[in-house]
Amino acid sequence: MASNTEVLTDEAQPAEAQSGKHINAGQVRKFLQIFRYVMRYKRYFFTGLLFLGFSTLTALLFPYVASLLADAAQGKTLWSVRELGWLLLGILVVQSVFSYARIVMFAYVSEYTMADIRKDLYARLITLPIPFFEQRRVGELTSRLTADVTQLQDAISINLAELLRQFATLIIGLTIIGLTSWRLTLLMLSTFPVAIVVAMFFGRFIRKMSKQTQDALANAGVVVEETLQSVQVVKVFTNERFETRRYQKAIDNVVSIAMRTAKYRGLFVTFLISAVFGGIVVVLWYGAVLVQQGSLTIGELIRFILYTVFIGGAIGGMGDLYGNLQKALGASERVVEILHEKPEVALQPDAETATPALTGNIEYRNVRFAYPTRKDIEVLKGVTLQIGRGEKVALVGPSGAGKSTIVQLLMRLYDVNSGAIYLNGQPITSLNITHLRHHIGLVPQEVILFGGTIHENILYGKPNATDAEIIAAAKKANAWDFISGFPQGLDTLVGERGVKLSGGQRQRIAIARAILKDPAILILDEATSSLDAESERLVQEALDRLMENRTTIIIAHRLSTVRKADTIYVLDGGTIAERGNHEELAAKPDGLYRYLLKLQFEEAPAAS
């Protein structure tokens, strides 16, 4: 398991590593695509912007009026202290109202936007082909739906507003102090730009380090996810200690990276603060000189300082905002990447109706195939076979020969590399994939159930089935006896992935599902291989019922179960080594089938 993890981590890296560098045009374009979602709520969005503008302006009025107050105290203004006091209070109230409205508006836009993005993202994810999932980890994909989208939400609801506010503060603040005293302003400007340049350089460095912390945390999360998902395996192999150490190491790594980042961030913030205060000290001193000379009033000096603090704050905050914006761009890149993946099925049901009924004439012509994740190993090397309508065909052969692969190709979980598969004379690539899969039922060796009730799991075969249909299917599948034996009957919870049921019980639920689905083509992939004799009898009985009037492909390594098949294909190393019925193949001297038969014959007494 551990080695598997490492391989996958390496593969997962490039996409992650790309983000977090400089902002490029492609990222911006992708962010704008995300912004199209925001524009669905443009009325709210622009109203929010308007309120943001108002609240920023009123906030900026505040220091101005406050400085007038200082002059009024000395009797140097047209306004009295009392009037200005009321004015300040009024500004405060108006400002609060605007701020409140702004926050609610942006929350509305961002919440609805993110919900839309999440829905689209999931709809796209679930319709993507299997190879997409084999190349990525579940944890990585779920984090796109959660963490990445949340990042976008912050960008839209908080960062954008902050950026605009700080930009306005900068411009208006500079104008006001310039008008108040251009000499002081020039002095101030000769100190701040130096700080800004250093801050930009420093900030970029720190962002890179924050990214490393995030990646390290994600790596630790992967350990948790994997081991909790397969907690049984961990326990059976008593690897708790090993996994705990693996997790500890990952978390320690997070701490050391985070602490290193924090130290630099501390330096960064300290530098910014001292630069700001240093600037203020210089300005204050020169301001006092100007007041002494009579070219500046106390109120004007106060105004100048208040606005300088505002401007300093705005500049200081912009570094962080730039970082957040960059993160949001990275997140939107990852989100848009999925939205751009090509789905294999359409979620609209209308495409189905036009296509003809598939009765189950199957033909493989010289099919060659390698799994997308292992392109260099050809699993099927020219497979040709025919299955007539209603026929029972068996695929046998050593494990790893490619039997399951053959049936996965029929369902188009993967596409062939060369050759073709025909259904009723048409290449399956020309059929609607939903339509195609609709006509195929699969009972695998390891049935995986959803964590809900037995009822829900059977219903998966036909979501609109009635209770009577479900019960009838369960009866046919030899499942009704054990289901009605549970105190809660059909409403019994099966546990995550069905762990609360035995293998044979799960198998019969899968059969009930297939009965409800009523497919023209049935695939049994070692459906009884892992069962004990009694369950096997019950399951086999149910399967025999299910197979009636259906084209069936039976994959089995217990050859007793394939005796009755019309044709048996013996597969070896990705090619068809033999074909014929049981008698023919058993009679063939030096045949693989005869050899496998002999092996099992020898094993059988020992096994029982």
Binding-site ranges for Mg ion (CB under 5 A): 404
Could you say which of 180, 324, 405, 505 contacts ligand ADP (CB under 6 A)?
405
Binders of ligand ADP: how many residues, by CB under 6 A?
12
Q: Look up residue 497 and give its two tokens.
A: 């992935």
Q: Which DSSP string do the residues of 177-241 spell out, in sequence order?
A: HHHH-HHHHHHHHHHHHHHHHHHHHHHHHHHHHHHHHHHHHHHHHHHHHHHHHTHHHHHHTT-HH
Q: Report the nearest approach of ligand ADP to the CB of residue 151 (Å).
A: 32
With binding defined as CB under 6 A, does residue 558 bind ligand ADP? Answer: no
Q: Which does 90 bind (CB under 5 to 8 A by kind): ligand ADP, Mg ion, none?
A: none
Q: Which of 390, 546, 522 is nearest to 444 (CA)?
A: 522
Could you say which of 297, 404, 445, 567 contacts ligand ADP (CB under 6 A)?
404
Could you say which of 59, 177, 272, 379 contacts ligand ADP (CB under 6 A)?
379
Handedness of CA 559, 537, 406, 5 (dihedral sign): negative
The number of CA neighbours under 13 Å toward the Cβ of 208 is 8
Burial of 282-320, coded b for 16+ CB within 10 Å and e otherwise, reads ebbebbeebeeeeebbbbbbbbbbbbbbbbbbbbbbbbb
Show the site string, 111-150: x = touches ligand ADP by CB under 6 A, - = not. -----------------------x----------------
521 close to 528: Cβ distance less than 8 angstroms: no
Per CB under 6 A, which region of 89-97, 327-335, 366-374, 585-593 contacts ligand ADP?
366-374
Give whichever of 525 and 578 is closer to Mg ion, judged by the CB atom: 525
Give whichever of 404 and 552 is closer to Mg ion, judged by the CB atom: 404
Per CB under 6 A, which region of 54-62, 272-280, 399-407, 513-521 contacts ligand ADP?
399-407
Q: Which does 374 bind (CB under 5 to 8 A by kind): Mg ion, ligand ADP, none?
A: ligand ADP
Q: Hey, how many other C-beta atoms are within 10 angstroms of the C-beta on 52?
A: 23
478 close to 541: Cβ distance less than 8 angstroms: yes
Query: Which positions ≥6 away from 239 have C-beta within 8 Å?
Result: 233
With binding defined as CB under 6 A, does residue 223 bind ligand ADP? Answer: no
Distance from C-alpha of 16 to C-alpha of 217, rounded to nearest angstrom: 13
Q: Report the nearest approach of ligand ADP to the CB of residue 192 (Å).
A: 59
With binding defined as CB under 6 A, does residue 400 bind ligand ADP? Answer: yes
With binding defined as CB under 6 A, does residue 503 bind ligand ADP? Answer: no
Distance from C-alpha of 153 to C-alpha of 218, rounded to nearest angstrom: 20
Q: Which does 401 bind (CB under 5 to 8 A by kind): Mg ion, ligand ADP, none?
A: ligand ADP
Q: Is 594 helix (H, G, I), strand (E, B) or coil?
A: helix
Q: Which does 248 bind (CB under 5 to 8 A by kind): ligand ADP, Mg ion, none?
A: none
With binding defined as CB under 6 A, does residue 399 bind ligand ADP? Answer: yes
**Residue of closest CB approach to Mg ion:** 404
Give whichever of 404 and 535 is closer to Mg ion, judged by the CB atom: 404
Q: Which does 473 bind (CB under 5 to 8 A by kind): ligand ADP, Mg ion, none?
A: none
Contacting residues toward ligand ADP, per CB under 6 A: 134, 371, 373-374, 379, 399-405
